[in-house]
Structures are given as structure tokens and as C-alpha cells.
Amino acid sequence: MGYVYGMRRRDFLTAGLGSLAQPGARRTYRAAIIGHTGRGGYGHEWETAWKGLPSIEVVAVADPDDAGRGRAMARSGAARGYRDYLEMLRKEKPDLVGIFPRWLDQRLAMVTAAAEAGAHILIEKPFAQSLREADALVAVAERHGIKVQVGHTARPTPVTRRAYEMVRTGQIGVLLEMRARGKEDARAGGEDLIVLGTHDFDLMRMFAGDPKWVFAHVTEKGEEVDPRRARQPTEPVGPVAGDEVAAMFYFPGGVHGYFGSKASDQRSGVRFGLTLYGSKGAIFIPLTAVPSEPPYLLRSPSWVSDSGAAWERINAPGPKTRADANAMMVADLLEAVETGRDPVCSARDGRWTIEMVTGIYQSQLSGARVEFPLKNRRHPLDN
């Protein structure tokens, strides 16, 4: 079953759901899984996210690859398998659908089919390969009245929530600015921006609200990026460009947020995360590991370690494995379905991450500050 910081996984997740997770408190939900081995698979172990939760029956997996489907059925505990996800949706009539391929070339069709079947959706990030597609996904969800949870797993974890509470209660003083970096591995620059930078953007909005504008600079080997430098990344997540991205966002309350990703000789990803700078100190939320490691706190207005202050870890109970972090997203989605509230990372939240990425390219190509919400919804690199 697995343990989460000394608690059994099922007990941890049950505690996270509160009274809604108690046996008999609600109906049993039928969950189905859509994956595609060789075309984005099941993302980051999402096929196991449903296991161990009360009130969920994993009824089926759809995957055109026979061997991959069999492995996913074994990992997820699904009762049946299908080659065609449309057939699965028609026959199984699930209440919940997981759309888990990392590749985005089938995303809109899969979400549309699940929404038309009346199922609430858990979806791997990034949310969409373009802002227009993100708009279409939000419209589909709202038209059919279904909940969508986007897999930015850092947002609901107890360590992130602990950092949020510390900022809210003034433990680092007035929030002055935020600085985020992508993973900066072999994908540094444009691909890092869409694949992993969305985690940073989601957390920026969590701490500071919706951005008002962005001003950005994107280059490739020191040369200015334009649409002629657009390329397809290692996986189909939309066009990307640049091996260096630098962007400044403006948030309500006079808070500026900075994002950077640059190719260099350091590819370990140790800088991946978000640092919150306040008038009395700073908090660093690392994103290199999933689930996130405990944040670091520095109680110094100078933002450097000195004789009176040193970086310390913020301890909070939380998931210890990726599967448990994923299951927290399921738990939150179920509570959203039961109570009618939005999931912790809704379709609109997912769209904001794509809008922030799109704004960066629009600013680079225009050489100017770009206001949100974007008036031009077309992908700037789409020729």
C-alpha cells in the first residue's frame, strides 16, 4: 500500500479528503484511464493515481498498444482494457476520466469525448499546445458542466500550502518579488518553458494572483528569436523557440515575477523552483523532485545568510512518492465534484499557464510589454 511520512497512503489520502472520504459518505465513482504507449504514455505515473482511494472503482484502460495497455491495467488495477477510448467511454460510462498522455496532439479530442460523456477529468500537464486550444478546452468543460483538474502537483502539497500560509501571515514580511527558473536540462529555453515552466507560472499565480502584463526576451545562441526559428520539441507540445528565456511579469499589489531558463554547462535542475522575496526574508520552493522537497526559509531582510540567519527547512507532512502526489490531485478533484467548488488547479488555471507562455513569445516578437488577458490568441510561433 505504501507509506506517506509515516502514514499509510490510504489513511493519508482519507485524512486529506476529510468527511467526504469516509466509507458510505458518497457513491462509488467509476474511473477510466486514457493513455497511449509510445505517444506520451501515461505521463508521470498517473495511471496509479486512482489506487488506494475509497469510493473509486477503476473500470478500464484505453490504449491502442496491446502490451502497454496490459501493463497499465496491471499497475492501475483496471478491470478491462480497450484499444479505442471512444468505445471505452461509450460502454463503461465512467464518472471520472484520466487523460494522461504527455503528448498534446490528441488532447482536445480526448477532453471533448470525455466531457461529452459527462465525465469529470484529471489531466496531465501541460494543459494545451496553444492558447486557442486552451480556450477550446475551457469552453468544452464549461459547456458540459464538468470539473477539470490539471496535473500541477506542486500546488496542493502540504509543503507548498505551508509556504503559502507563511507568506499570507507575513512571516517574510511584505511580498516584494518572485523569481523562478525552469529545470534547465537539455530542454533549456523554449521547451523547458512549456513543459516545466508551467509549474512555476501556476505557483506564481497561487501566491500573487493573475498577472497584468509581461515583458520578455527570447534568444537562440545569442540571436533574437522570430517565427523562423520555431521548432518542434522532443515531444509534440506545440512549437517552441530559443535556448534562453527571460521574462518579467507584473502582478497585483506591485509584485514583479521573473522567469528564466538558459542552456548552460549545468543541467542538474537544482535551480528549478520558485523563490519568494519579502521585506523580512525569503522562501525557496524547490521543484526538482516530485513531490516537492520541503521549502527553505531565510529570516533575513538582506536575502543572504549572515551571522544572524541561515537557510532552514520548512517541515510539513506530505506525499513521499509521485504516485501519492498524483493521488492528492484525485482527492481534491473528488472533493470539488462533491462540493461544487473548483479543483485546486482548474481548466482556467491550466489555461493561465499557457497564456503566460504565449505572452512571453508575443512580447519577444513585438519588442514591447504585452497586457493580459491577451487579445491575440494565436500562437506567435505558428507559421
pLDDT at position 92 over 80: yes
From CA 110, how far away is CA 80, in angstroms rounded? Answer: 19
Q: What is the pLDDT of residue 165?
A: 95
Confidence of residue 295 (pLDDT cuts 50, 70, 90): confident
Whole-model pTM above 0.85? Answer: yes
- Tens of pLDDT, residue by residue over 162-178, are 999 999 999 999 999 99
pLDDT at position 246 over 60: yes
Q: What is the pLDDT of residue 305?
A: 85
Confidence of residue 14 (pLDDT cuts 50, 70, 90): very low
Q: What is the pLDDT of residue 25?
A: 41
Q: What is the pLDDT of residue 208?
A: 98
From CA 231, how far away is CA 201, in angstroms rounded? Answer: 22
Q: Is the dihedral of CA 155, 159, 162, 163 positive or negative?
A: negative
CA dihedral 99, 322, 78, 43 (to 10 degrees): 30
Domain spans, the chain? 3-150, 158-318+347-371
The three three-digit cell numbers of residue 175, written as one number:
511580498
What is the CATH architecture of 3-150? 3-Layer(aba) Sandwich (3.40)
Confidence of residue 320 (pLDDT cuts 50, 70, 90): confident
Decide: 206 and 164 in contact? Cβ < 8 Å.
yes
Mean local confidence (pLDDT), 207-234: 96
Mean local confidence (pLDDT), 128-152: 98
- Tens of pLDDT, residue by residue over 95-126, are 999 999 999 999 999 999 999 999 999 999 99
CATH of domain 158-318+347-371: 3.30.360.10
Q: What is the pLDDT of residue 292?
A: 65
pLDDT at position 15 over 70: no
Q: What is the pLDDT of residue 6?
A: 31
Helices then strands, counting H and E runs in the chain, come out as 10, 18
Coil, strand or helix at 139 = helix
Percent of the chain with pLDDT over 70: 92
**Interaxial angle between packed helices 107-116 and 131-144, expressed in degrees from 0 to 180 and rounded to the nearest 10:** 10
Mean local confidence (pLDDT), 272-283: 97
